[in-house]
Amino acid sequence: MSTLLHIDSSPAGDHSVSRALTAEFVKNWKAANPDGTVVDRDLTHTPLVPLTGLWIGAAYTPEDKRSAEQKAELALSDTLVGELLSADEYVFGVPMYNFAVPGAFKLWIDQIARVGVTFAYVDGAPKGLLAGKKATFLIATGGEYGPGSPTVSYNFVEPYLRTVFGFLGVTDATFQTAGGAAALNYGADRAAFLAPQFEAIQAKFAPATV
């Protein structure tokens, strides 16, 4: 039985494009995996805070030597890392904020990048410990940053996510970006804007043709 970890990070609720995309993905995933389990993690309702000195000291202290205070400091991180380790597959909804991922998403990454748990150093070289996991990133951007666009270098979302998740061992990563979402603020039709994005998601689940 397969488990999908579904993570959203947009605070825009029903107006969110990335949330609409992950909802479509989850719907299709459930149809393809009727016995599967979906775990939902909403980063806008997760008590994420910047890392503290106590947290960093605790993460670098061997588990059996941690104080009660250190264990308590790592409790949320342990939960979030547990969700990643238990799932086979991940889907992320990620808005572009100021050319990068939203703050909540970055705070989550800081919580789940754990030495000895999600990455390690083996013979001095980093080794990702989330090997074998499959990730789909569904990104929404107000502008357009596609290949060939003059603003392609402004996009720190996809390169950053590729680097971080690659470091953690997630090499099977797919990216889909709904660019130009700012048009929705100027009267563009939401259903028409989302339709090709939903089709691209549905195509990921279509049976392979020979």
Ligand X SMILES: Cc1cc2nc3c(=O)[nH]c(=O)nc-3n(C[C@H](O)[C@H](O)[C@H](O)COP(=O)(O)O)c2cc1C
Are 188 and 133 spatial neighbours (Cβ–Cβ below 8 Å)? Answer: no
Q: How far is the CB of 2 from ligand X (least distance, A)?
A: 26
Among the listed ranges 33-41, 46-54, 61-69, 138-146, the one in contact with ligand X (CB under 6 A) is 138-146
In sequence order, what are the beta bridge partners of 120? 127
Site string for ligand X, 139-158 (x = CB under 6 A): -xxxx---------------
Among the listed ranges 11-19, 52-60, 71-79, 163-171, the one in contact with ligand X (CB under 6 A) is 11-19
Among the listed ranges 56-64, 91-99, 126-134, 168-176, the one in contact with ligand X (CB under 6 A) is 91-99
Q: How far is the CB of 177 from ligand X (least distance, A)?
A: 10
Q: What are phi and psi of 37, to 5 degrees?
A: -120, 135
Q: How far is the CB of 58 from ligand X (least distance, A)?
A: 32
What is the end-to-end Cα distance of the chain in Å, rounded?
27
Place of tokens 């825009």: 12
Instruction: Select 87 or 157, whichever has its Cβ closest to ligand X.
Output: 157
Report the residue from 7, 80, 181, 201 that binds ligand X according to the rule CB under 6 A.
181
Is residue 100 exposed (0-12), middle (13-18) or buried (19+ Cβ within 10 Å)? Answer: middle
Among the listed ranges 10-18, 68-76, 107-115, 160-168, the one in contact with ligand X (CB under 6 A) is 10-18
The site for ligand X, by CB under 6 A, has a size of 17
Q: Does 136 bind ligand X (CB under 6 A)?
A: no
Among candidates 128, 139, 48, 134, which has minimal Cα distance to 101?
139
> Cα(60)–Cα(180) distance, rounded to whole angstroms?
42
For CA atoms 106, 157, 40, 66, the dihedral sign is: negative
Structure tokens at 149: 């666009």
Report the residue from 27, 85, 99, 200 that binds ligand X according to the rule CB under 6 A.
99
Are 12 and 95 spatial neighbours (Cβ–Cβ below 8 Å)? Answer: yes
Which residues from 30-89 bind ligand X, rule CB under 6 A? none
Report the residue from 91, 96, 161, 170 that binds ligand X according to the rule CB under 6 A.
96
Helix (H, G, I), strand (E, B) or coil at 88: coil
Q: Which residues bind ligand X (CB under 6 A)?
A: 10, 12, 16-19, 95-99, 140-143, 181-182
